[in-house]
Structure 1
């Protein structure tokens, strides 16, 4: 059942070997013990990247994405915000305006901002925000792409997980959190407003994000719930 983090932010609790995480309806993960907020795949500057290639696209997605992140930070008061890769869409979208917004972001968040480098950051440079490698943080292994690590829960982005519910004209694609037990990986939904998604596999546990709530889900729970058979990412290791 959905619960509320701190009485304000709709969420569901995910417990991994006695270590709790809150899966937020805002498409982020909150570590209440370490006071860390995790987000992934903001893809800022995506509209500007498309515009460079002559594809018209409105430039208002970044504001909604950044405002959503600021709202979360103001409610939760994290010690740090960690972006699990793909903060930006490409260096072509790193306009002077976006660079200015990113420079001001830590102060606006009221805490440290860190970036685990993703594939879309390659070839770019953001002043004051180095691309950090995948790394351990308490019981978590932080990465952009899935990188299972024995004894740690891999928190990652990159997959943009979604669940397909219904059939035909009634089919919905809902962002979700996806947990692959065999590989020990929890993938976050894309936080950016201008991002697509990829269906999850039948072997994953899902938490759907819908109507401002987080809902625990399972394959076959309703007729028309569609999932492919294979996991995204590296071949899962067998459980010990």
Structure 2
């Protein structure tokens, strides 16, 4: 399936170029921030956007599942962007999602889908999986000293700079101080939050995972008085 293996204590995770994490020990696929129905939410407020972005997001998810064959897909929040996006077509897609993916679906509630009631996909609170604390927003688990917080919400990204050129790429971002791994947003129609120097990063670029160390900002050169 490709990707980059990463070990945290006894946990072995694979960071996938599809912006997902694979946990072989339990055969779980972890994704975050699909934001389905976002185009329709924007349309409801008069902003014209194409309505086919969900097709791309769900198609990519199905392709990853076809490759990994997970027993469970764990969605770390913001499956839906907003109430206005719950069209009949999307409701049908959600009802048939376990069948489409060939896996059980477990949804951890996020801030965007917090007030939505989806009988076919009930929301679950944050929970422990092995040495992982799975949540939508960054948070400390009950045993934060021994658990790695795996979460979404931030939409981590990194901006590469070369002269006047700028390129922003989604990334996985690990905060050693907080013992936290941020997962990039899986959805097609999502933005990104630029991560600073405090994170160790793995860029998602052209179907590959690229370990990345952001160069320290250069301080302005001082002019010596003459």
TM-score under structure 2 length normalisation? 0.92
The one of 6, 23, 44 equivalent to 2:15 is 23
Counterpart check, 1:176 vs 2:171: yes
Counterpart check, 1:196 vs 2:188: no
Number of aligned residue pairs: give it: 215
| RMSD between superposed Cα atoms in Å | 1.4
Offset at residue 141 of structure 1 (A): 0.3
Offset at residue 170 of structure 1 (A): 1.2
* Residue 11 (structure 1) aligns with: 3
Offset at residue 169 of structure 1 (A): 4.4
* Residue 84 (structure 2) aligns with: 92
Question: Unmatched 5+ residue regions in structure 2?
Answer: 219-226
* Residue 127 (structure 1) aligns with: 119
Counterpart check, 1:210 vs 2:205: yes
CA distance in 2, matches of 1:31, 1:118: 21
Kept in 1: contact 2:94–2:120 (CA 8 A): no
The one of 53, 59, 78 equivalent to 1:61 is 53
The one of 31, 40, 43 equivalent to 2:32 is 40
CA distance in 2, matches of 1:19, 1:117: 24
- Highest CA radius of gyration, 1 or 2? 2
Offset at residue 186 of structure 1 (A): 0.3
CA distance in 2, matches of 1:152, 1:140: 5
Offset at residue 219 of structure 1 (A): 1.7
Q: Please list every run of at least 4 consecutive aligned residues from structure 1 whose deviation after the TM superposition is greater than 6 angstroms.
A: none
* Residue 81 (structure 1) aligns with: 73
CA distance in 2, matches of 1:19, 1:55: 44
Offset at residue 60 of structure 1 (A): 1.0
TM-score under structure 1 length normalisation? 0.87
Offset at residue 180 of structure 1 (A): 0.1
CA distance in 1, matches of 2:28, 2:191: 26
* Residue 229 (structure 1) aligns with: none
Q: Which is worse superposed, 142-151 or 167-176?
A: 167-176
* Residue 145 (structure 2) aligns with: 150
SS state at 1:207 partner = strand
